[in-house]
């Protein structure tokens, strides 16, 4: 795996563009209810990135120069993804703003308030090996996010939505490259990091957005994007990427997580 150039990434980081796309296509070819619900879920996840960043700032990860630099740019790019998706929803009369975002956080109640405390305690007990967990978890999330955007683009084949989703997916691949490069480097160096990361991913990983969404919305999105033979194949490709990380051989965290949703997958699979 090639080294990730954090300085080049910081210099070239920019918002995803959509001004050149013909959003008027949404007037003549509006998105269906199922797709809008999935786009809304994606938008909420992107807008909540600041919460994930907040939690990680109290862990040993924030002391790493490259990690801090990356996460600053990552937070901005994810915010811009949220803005782009909110613009799509806006063309359909659906408003997403920070008041709604705040209301969603209030619904999390103590889970939201305690998240930074739990991360801080765990990170300081574990020490530097926690960074490997963070990087591996981030890689898993970004692999799944990239797959989700590309999958919806393929399923929808919409003249405005699909190009936008592909552009977002392209930026997500850079995020994946950073996380995966950092994870591999740190996992190779420490047996403790490998043991801990494998345990955390196997026992605690859930699809991106699980902690901020209603179960019914999560269920809808997973089935919308990953039902069927092609969906299962996509999920297994993601798991194969995780399994290539040092010490993660044989893990199937994505397939295990989605089987809880009673997916419409081939029975022989």
Phi, psi at residue 8, to the nearest 5°?
A: -65, -40
Residue 114 is predicted with a pLDDT of: 37
Residue 33 is predicted with a pLDDT of: 97
Contacts of 248 (CB under 8 A, 6+ apart): 136, 187, 194, 197, 198, 201, 242
Rounded Cα–Cα distance for residues 125 and 122 (Å):
5
Cα–chain center distance at 143: 7
pLDDT per residue rounded down to tens, the chain (269 residues)? 456 888 899 899 999 999 999 999 999 999 999 999 999 999 999 988 766 655 565 555 556 778 878 888 888 899 899 999 999 999 999 998 756 665 555 455 434 443 443 444 454 545 578 889 889 999 999 999 999 999 999 999 999 999 999 999 999 999 999 999 999 999 999 999 999 899 989 998 999 988 788 899 999 999 999 999 999 999 999 999 999 999 999 999 999 999 999 999 998 66
Instruction: Decide: residue 225, CB within 10 A, 0-12 exposed, 13-18 middle, 19+ buried.
Output: buried
Q: What is the pTM of this model?
A: 0.87
Contacts within 8 Å (CB) and 24+ apart, 191-196: 191/247, 192/129, 193/129, 193/132, 193/133, 193/247, 194/132, 194/246, 194/247, 194/248, 195/247, 196/126, 196/129, 196/130, 196/132, 196/133
At 126, which helix (H) or strand (E)? helix 110-126
Residue 69 is predicted with a pLDDT of: 82
Rounded Cα–Cα distance for residues 186 and 66 (Å):
13
Best CA proximity match to 24, nearest among 93, 91, 96: 91
- Architecture of domain 30-259 in CATH? Orthogonal Bundle (1.10)
Q: Are 200 and 242 in contact (CB under 8 A)?
A: no
What are 238's two structure tokens? 């993601």
Residue 117 is predicted with a pLDDT of: 39
Rounded Cα–Cα distance for residues 139 and 118 (Å):
21
């Amino acid at each position: 795996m090639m080294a990730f150039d954090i300085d080049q990434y910081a210099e070239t980081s920019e918002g995803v563009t959509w001004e050149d796309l013909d959003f008027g296509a949404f007037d003549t070819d509006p998105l269906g209810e199922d797709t809008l619900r999935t786009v809304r879920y994606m938008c909420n996840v992107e807008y909540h990135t600041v919460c994930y960043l907040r939690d990680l700032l109290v862990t040993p990860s924030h002391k790493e120069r490259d990690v801090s630099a990356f996460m600053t740019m990552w937070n901005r790019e994810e915010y811009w993804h949220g803005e782009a998706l909110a613009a799509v929803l806006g063309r359909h009369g659906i408003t997403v703003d920070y008041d709604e975002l705040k209301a969603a956080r209030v619904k999390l109640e103590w889970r939201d308030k305690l998240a930074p405390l739990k991360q801080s305690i765990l990170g300081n007990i574990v020490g530097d090996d926690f960074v490997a967990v963070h990087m591996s978890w981030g890689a898993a999330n970004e692999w799944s996010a990239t797959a989700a955007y590309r999958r919806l683009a393929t399923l929808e084949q919409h003249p405005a939505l699909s190009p936008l989703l592909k552009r977002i997916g392209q930026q997500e691949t850079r995020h994946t490259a950073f996380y995966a490069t950092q994870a591999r480097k740190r996992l190779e160096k420490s047996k403790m990091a490998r043991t801990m990361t494998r345990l955390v991913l196997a026992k605690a990983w859930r699809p991106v957005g699980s902690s901020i969404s209603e179960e019914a919305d999560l269920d809808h999105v997973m089935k919308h994007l990953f039902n069927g033979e092609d969906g299962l194949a996509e999920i297994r490709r993601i798991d194969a990427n995780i399994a290539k990380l040092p010490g993660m051989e044989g893990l199937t965290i994505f397939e295990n997580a989605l089987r809880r949703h009673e997916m419409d997958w081939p029975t022989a699979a």
